[in-house]
């Protein structure tokens, strides 16, 4: 802390780069102290309003006083109270009561700390998912446009990172899109499955509220329903301990970890393609790739995504461990861990989605490089077509196979031992045995004849699965994103 009368030098303290360097303002706010404690006050208001409507002696004046001070938070006072009381919730009860003297007696009435703590967490998780979903939809939309544009462009496929049959640039992109569409569905399901903790009391039995309403079970149930609705949830968990089940956190962070895996795979592919000089991420006019090597064009955005995606994938281990060691109705060893892992998971997911959107909006394709690589491998792939054409022209399949085998081995030696280009087709043209099909060679080597149904698959996939999934997010597609760093 700074000395009295001095300003604190923020550059002299560690700041998480997730917030200071990368994450969006809206996601940073979602996990801010202001959002957290402002939500606590709103939850106290909802509770008082519902209790009043069910007959408890709470006045309109008390409600109005609370409403007028929802965002009037004295953070310095709250910090001093917490230092003295060693209890964050009671520190904020006292701070709220200080500016609401008339309502002081009924703030937090019947509630336990988890009424504000856990319910706020659920609101923040819901709001965080609602921030991520349109960002993911935007990435899918940008990649869908890219896939559509390059649906017909042949490119060399790879299995085991070894040359395989041809595919198209657009079809390969659809592999990325399909994974992200699965993530979109998973995030939507995680959001829609979230429930509110509601008003459950210290061990989840609602005993304090049953006492407040003098044994009237129907009023306790209605209180739970009213507060749940005021918080914007359709349902509350029917059974809780002091906290909502920590398996909820596992469910949410699992889908974020899965998103991280998808993005890591996509950006790894882009990094490999950049090495092949077939596709590159955006590279700014004044961007420097290396302090030592001026010619470098490093795929630093894709590398950032991979780096942060690894962090995102590991965070799910925290709620897994936490849920496994919650004793009976709850233990407090969940608290500090959750303060870190929940926020970091959402902030990291936010960052990698924004970065991937920037990448997908500026992908650069180099058709001539792609074509050259195809020509290096296509002759070997075309050998079966050449054999079938020779048989149709009256040749013997076994004789033709042996001829092609010998010429292929010779061409492979040129490529591997001499570092030359694949000259198989030149050898075929020079061999009189293949004269019956010399005029067909150009059509037999047309790359588009080797891509199968890839263009049709792209069109069908985008029309029937991708575009419909994006309809709920059409109003949030926005413009291009510009990364500060």
**Of 20, 290, 443, 448, which residue is the catalytic one?**
290
Known catalytic residue: 264? Answer: no
List, as one string, the DSSP characters of 89-157: HHHHHHHHHHH-TTTGGGTTTT--HHHHHHHHHHHHHHHHHHHHHHHHHHHHHHHHHHHHHTTT-EEEE
Residue 191 · residue 248 · CB < 8 Å: no
User: 């910090």: which residue's tokens?
Assistant: 79
User: 């795929």: which residue's tokens?
Assistant: 299
Question: What three-state secondary structure class fits 157?
Answer: strand
Distance from C-alpha of 180 to C-alpha of 469, rounded to nearest angstrom: 11
Distance from C-alpha of 185 to C-alpha of 174, rounded to nearest angstrom: 16
Angle at 249 between CA 307 and CA 190, to 5 degrees: 90
Residue 438 · residue 390 · CB < 8 Å: no
Distance from C-alpha of 289 to C-alpha of 465, rounded to nearest angstrom: 38
Residue 306 · residue 264 · CB < 8 Å: yes
Distance from C-alpha of 470 to C-alpha of 79, rounded to nearest angstrom: 44
Lookup: tokens for 463: 């029309």
Distance from C-alpha of 70 to C-alpha of 25, rounded to nearest angstrom: 22
Distance from C-alpha of 228 to C-alpha of 223, rounded to nearest angstrom: 8
Closest CA to 118 of 371, 401, 339: 339
In sequence order, the 6+-apart residues with CB closer than 8 A to the CB of 335 are: none
Known catalytic residue: 160? Answer: yes
Cα-Cα-Cα-Cα dihedral sign, residues 430, 436, 437, 438: positive
List, as one string, the DSSP characters of 73-84: --HHHHHHHHHH
Question: What three-state secondary structure class fits 95?
Answer: helix
Residue 241 · residue 202 · CB < 8 Å: no
Residue 173 · residue 143 · CB < 8 Å: yes
| Sequence-ordered alpha helix ranges (H) in 213-246 | 217-230
Closest CA to 318 of 257, 250, 251: 250
Which residues are catalytically annotated? 160, 290
């Amino acid at each position: 802390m700074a000395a009295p009368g001095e300003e604190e030098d923020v550059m002299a303290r560690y700041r998480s780069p997730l917030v200071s360097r990368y994450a969006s303002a809206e996601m940073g706010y979602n996990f801010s102290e202001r959002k957290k404690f402002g939500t606590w006050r709103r939850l106290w208001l909802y509770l008082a309003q519902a209790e009043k409507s069910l007959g408890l002696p709470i006045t309109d004046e008390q409600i109005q006083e609370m409403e007028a001070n929802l965002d009037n938070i004295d953070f310095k006072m709250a910090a001093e109270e917490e230092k003295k009381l060693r209890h964050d919730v009671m520190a904020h009860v006292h701070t709220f009561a200080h500016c609401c003297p008339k309502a002081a007696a009924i703030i937090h009435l019947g509630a336990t700390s988890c009424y504000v703590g856990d319910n706020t967490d659920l609101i923040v998780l819901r709001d965080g998912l609602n921030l991520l979903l349109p960002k993911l939809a935007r990435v899918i939309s940008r990649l869908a446009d890219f896939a559509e544009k390059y649906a017909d462009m042949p490119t060399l496929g790879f299995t085991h990172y070894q040359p395989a049959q041809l595919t198209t640039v657009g079809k390969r992109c659809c592999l990325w899109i399909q994974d992200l569409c699965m993530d979109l569905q998973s995030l939507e399901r995680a959001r829609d499955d979230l429930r509110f903790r509601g008003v459950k009391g210290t061990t989840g039995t609602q005993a304090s509220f049953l006492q407040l309403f003098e044994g009237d079970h129907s009023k306790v149930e209605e209180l739970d329903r009213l507060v749940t609705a005021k918080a914007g949830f359709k349902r509350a968990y029917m059974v809780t301990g002091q906290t909502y089940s920590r398996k909820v956190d596992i469910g949410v962070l699992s889908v974020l970890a899965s998103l991280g895996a998808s993005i890591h795979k996509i950006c790894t592919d882009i990094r490999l393609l950049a090495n092949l000089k077939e596709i590159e991420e955006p590279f700014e006019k004044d961007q420097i790739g290396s302090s030592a090597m001026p010619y470098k064009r490093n795929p630093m955005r894709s590398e950032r995504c991979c780096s942060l995606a690894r962090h995102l994938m590991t965070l799910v281990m925290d709620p897994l461990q936490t849920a496994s060691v919650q004793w009976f109705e709850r233990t407090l060893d969940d608290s500090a861990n959750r303060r870190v892992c929940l926020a970091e998971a959402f902030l990291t997911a936010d960052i990698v989605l924004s970065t991937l959107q920037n990448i997908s909006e500026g992908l650069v394709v180099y058709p001539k490089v792609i074509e050259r690589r195809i020509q290096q491998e296509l002759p070997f792939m075309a050998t079966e077509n050449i054999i079938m054409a020779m048989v149709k022209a009256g040749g013997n399949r076994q004789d033709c196979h042996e001829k092609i085998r010998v010429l292929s081995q010779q061409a492979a030696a040129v490529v591997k031992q001499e570092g030359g280009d694949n000259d198989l087709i030149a050898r075929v043209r020079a061999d009189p045995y293949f004269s019956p099909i010399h005029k067909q060679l150009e059509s037999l080597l047309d790359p588009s004849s080797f891509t199968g149904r890839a263009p049709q698959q792209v069109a069908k996939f985008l029309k029937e699965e991708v575009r419909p999934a994006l309809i709920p997010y059409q109003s949030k597609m926005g413009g291009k994103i510009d990364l500060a760093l």
